[in-house]
Structure 1
Amino acid sequence: MTISTSENKNILEAILAGNSSQARHLKIQVERVSSSRNPTLIFGEPGAGKLPIARLIHGKLGTGGKFIPYLVSEQNEEDLEKLLRRHATKGAKTKAGLNTLYIDDVADFSLSEQKRLAAFLKGLEGRRSQPKVITATSRDLNSLVKYNAFSRELYWLLNVQNLSLPNLQHRRGDIPLIIRRFMRQEYAPVRPPEISEKAMNALVRYGWPGNLREMRNVVTRLKVLGKRRRITGNNIAAVLANPLTTETGMARGQNLSSSIYRNLEKYFKAHDQRLPPDGLYNRILKEVERPLISLTLNATRGNQLKAAQLLGLNRNTLRKKLKNLDIDAKDLKT
């Protein structure tokens, strides 16, 4: 989805806001990957702000070149071919400096697109003048490689440097600051209404599956409710009860099974008419286990005893799973 310059700036400010360990680490990562022109892979769930962060990295390079986004959902294979050919032959040298190529949703590339991009990156090796290539994904490319759904060669060509955008559910301490920043942006030039303690607690507890994009939309809906001096818990309940605010792609009345079915259908299609490797059943269960446990701990505010009861697991079994899945329950407390 294309976003305006002002929206890009607003989301970027929200991404970098806060003093949590996740926010500080993100700033360090940005500085690190901006120090060279090596390919950079950005991982972040939908709505986490991958495009604004890519623009920030480009700006910090200081080359004065163009930032050229290639959005898989809006462009086609022919557009990709033209883009890569132009930069392969001209060395991406412009009057202003060196360009940055940003490719979103790289996990959705067809096998032929993956081969083209891999060939392009190999052709850049050893060249003094080359574009900065930034790719982004919301999917686990390492797992896709393991299951032969993504090119192993391309994965290593892209993953010279990497950066992970934290989810809002892992930055609960930053949520009040981010909410207030979005409120100031949305209500400008007038002063935004106050947010009651109950309302803010509801916002902090919410899971934010759509991350920053969803949060920005929720703030917009609060403004649509009309002029008011104070945002109450009831106001928050009204906007969070709207099925469109979750941005999970699952409308009200649609069960979880159908949502999972659609995602598994995409997984099979990603193999281009080939069958996935054997052992699919156990692999899928393992992929579901981590987010299930993380979300349950979020819902119980890091209380492992309550989480174990909710999951129907022995507490010691939950502890073993947390260790095996490398989930830190402390990070999930509010």
Structure 2
Amino acid sequence: MEPATILVADDDRSICTVLHQALSRAGHTVRTTGTAASLWRMVEDGDGDLVITDVVMPDENALDLLPRIKRLRPNLPVIVMTAQKTLLTAVKATERGAFEYLPKPFDLNELLRIVQRALNTRRGDAPPPALDQRGQPQAEEEMPLVGRSPSMQEVYRVMARIMGTDLTVMITGESGTGKELVARALHDYGKRRGGPFVAINMAAIPRDLIESEMFGHEKGAFTGAAQRKTGRFEQAQGGTLFLDEIGDMPLDAQTRLLRVLQEGEFTTVGGRTPIRADVRIIAATHRDLRQLIQQGLFREDLFYRLNVVPVRLPPLRERREDIADLARHFLKLACDQGLPLKTLSADAIEVLTAYHWPGNVRELENLMRRLAALSAEDVIYRPDIEGEFAEPMPADDDRRRGGSLGEAIDFHLAEYFDAHDDGLPPAGLYDRILREVERPLIERTLVATRGNQIKAAQVLGLNRNTLRKKIRDLSIEVTRGGEPTRIGGSVAGR
């Protein structure tokens, strides 16, 4: 590591001492201070090759000092360290020119790696701060995401780095983890915040209407097209298009979407004049797209076009330290919406933290809203929570493996219903579930019959032509003869 002069600002002397020792051992010259004013004087004097500063200082918030530092010395990297582990802090630090946002506590080896990167990089001025619809800086309470856990800190850091870009983002995570909230935050704090945010849920639209919904159609393009319709791409011009449940997009529509991403333009269904696609794409899914690629249900080239910046949202069971903050946040939101203000007792928080939350954050939000409306007391106690969880749920593996096929299917169906605010999944659930059950049933039968479709049709009780059509519609690949049978990415031997 090439030696440098590093300015460290923190009113906690122990942190200054630890950083002084670690950076000095790495060969650097270190100057420490406990105030923003003295840090600013050192910067004005031209001292230092790098700044490491806490956010909350006795005399001034370092985030307010950052723009002045960047105006005076735009090539001086600033690393911001903070115990305020919110998305707003990460966004402000990035927007105001910080090289890196480092939540406390942090690993010293990670800090040294960041220091080395910062010394090898020179950055220019940051984009202007994000504004709300009134043109005012966003307030912290308006931020859509809550969580101080390490897994959420990583999400915040990725989001902060890509806020000011048009990079395509793929958000993955279980149902109810807040994928649309992340997409909206990327839009509301990004360079396209003045444009529209348009969302389309692939699982909620009949398969034969998806292309029309996405790209629009001309009058007379097909039976029932009585007038021209504007598609979501056109509605989102200048803004962000959020493609939710992208794993449920039919292959024909995937091909057309890929062409739009490659060429930057599209045509309406039945149209001939290309329209420039001036949109930022954010996609999301709770499904494993790599597995769908192996099964022939998702295009690999489209996956790589969409997965430019992956953002994984952790399930609530992986961020239990956030549960109390989230619960209080949802109770406050319920109060803001006219319900009585409730608080949580310590033993109630213990129960909430111990629960496994199959419906993730959405399930917690619905529970808090329900308790705010129905609880007779101002304080929610342990028995109130336990009453909501009166039916002990067996372990996931037990529910999947034990009992009948119907019980296993019921387990997965419960996840579909629990994951939505009103307990009702989007329209088209029957076809969606049928596809998910039908494909493995046909695949397993074809494996058993070694690709003999006549025998498979007899086992299934289907007409041979019907089975052929289903194999084609479900993109099931079958190889016959003495070779192994390859079905949807899996290989079955004899």
* 1:70 aligns to 2:240 (yes or no): no
* Match of residue 34 from structure 1: 163
Residue 237 of structure 1 and its aligned partner are, at CA, apart by 1.0
What is the TM-score with the length of structure 2 in the denominator?
0.46
Which structure 2 residues correspond to residues 69-88 of structure 1 after superposition, within 5 A? 69-77=199-207, 80-82=210-212, 84-85=214-215
**Counterpart of 1:272?**
474
For residues 302 and 381 of structure 2, the distance between their equivalents in structure 1, rounded to whole angstroms, comes to 50
> Contact between 1:16 and 1:23, CA under 8 Å: does it hold in 2?
no
Looking at CA atoms only, which structure, 1 or 2, has the larger radius of gyration?
Answer: 2
Distance change >3 Å, CA 38–CA 268, structure 1 → 2: farther
Quick check: 1:117 aligned with 2:257? yes
Residue ranges of structure 2 left out of the alignment (5+ in a row): 1-140, 218-229, 266-274, 394-398, 414-432, 441-472, 477-486
Give, in whole Å, the separation in 2 of the partners of 1:32 and 1:204.
31
Runs of 4+ in structure 1 displaced over 4 angstroms? 12-15, 253-256, 260-265
Corresponding position of 1:319? none
Shift in CA distance, 17/85, structure 1 to aligned 2, threshold 3 Å: closer
Q: How many residues are treated as equivalent by the alignment?
A: 260
How do 1:282-321 residues align onto structure 2 when only pairs under 5 Å count?
none
Higher relative contact order (CA 8 A, sep 6+): 1
- Matching residue of 2:246: 106
Q: Pick one of 161, 184, 191 that aligns with 2:332.
A: 184
Three-state SS of the structure 1 residue aligned to 2:203 is: coil
The 2-side partners of 1:129 and 1:112 are apart by 19
Report the Cα offset of residue 77 of structure 1.
4.6
Q: Does 1:257 align with 2:408?
A: yes
Contact in 1 for aligned 2:323/2:353 (Cα 8 Å): yes
Q: Is the 8 A contact 1:175 1:204 kept in 2?
A: yes
Structure 2 counterpart of 1:232: 381
Q: Choose from 278, 285, 300 the match for 1:152.
A: 300
Q: Normalising by the residue count of structure 1, what TM-score does the alignment of the two structures yield?
A: 0.66
CA distance in 2, matches of 1:194, 1:85: 48
**5+ residue gaps in structure 1?**
1-11, 245-249, 282-334
Q: Which amino acid aligns with 1:22?
A: S
Alpha-carbon distance in structure 2 between the residues aligned to 1:242 and 1:116: 47
> 1:180: how far off?
0.8
Distance 1:239 1:163 in 2: 32
Deviation, 1:191, is 6.5
Identity among equivalent positions (%) equals 28
Please tell me whether residue 45 in structure 1 is matched to residue 174 in structure 2. yes
Cα distance in 2 between the residues matched to 1:110 and 1:129: 21
* 2:245–2:285 Cα contact (<8 Å) kept: yes
Q: Give the secondary-structure state (helix, strand or coil) at the position aligned to 2:490.
A: coil
Structure 1 residues 111 and 15, CA, compared in 2 at 3 Å: closer, same or farther?
A: same
* SS across alignment from 2:242: strand
> Structure 1 169/151 Cα, relative in aligned 2: closer, same or farther at 3 Å?
same
Which residue does the alignment assign to 1:172?
A: 320
Counterpart amino acid of residue 188 in structure 2: G
Distance in 1, Cα, partners of 2:166 & 2:412: 40
Contact 2:340 2:372 in 1 (8 A): no
Query: Alpha carbons of 1:14 and 1:93: their partners in 2 closer, same or farther (altered >3 Å)?
Result: closer
Q: Please state how far the C-alpha of 1:33 moved relative to its aligned partner.
A: 3.0
AA in 2 matched with 1:75? I
Equivalent position amino acid for 1:143 in 2: Q
User: In the alignment, residue 149 of structure 2 is paired with which amino acid?
Assistant: S
How far is the alpha carbon of 1:242 from its aligned partner?
6.5
How much does 1:238 deviate? 1.2
Structure with the bigger percentage of strand: 2
Deviation at 1:15?
6.2
Distance 1:155 1:75 in 2: 21
Cα distance change of structure 1 residues 28 and 59 upon mapping to structure 2, 3 Å threshold: same
Whole-Å separation in 1 of the counterparts to 2:196 and 2:303: 25
Q: Within 2, Cα distance between the matches of 1:44 and 1:180?
A: 23
Q: Is the 8 A contact 1:44 1:165 kept in 2?
A: yes
Cα deviation, residue 227, structure 1: 2.5
What's 1:24 paired with?
Answer: 153
Q: Contact 1:84/1:120 (CA < 8 Å) preserved in 2?
A: no
Instruction: Provide Cα deviations, 1:72-96, integer angstroms capped at 9, x if missing partner.
Output: 2333456542455469x99x789x9
Q: 2:278 aligns with which of 127, 130, 135?
A: 130
Contact map agreement 2:187 2:240 (CA 8 A) in 1: yes
Going from structure 1 to structure 2, the CA distance change for 1:86 and 1:37 (only over 3 Å counts) comes to farther
Higher helix share: 1
What's 2:364 paired with? 215
Q: CA deviation at 1:279?
A: 4.1
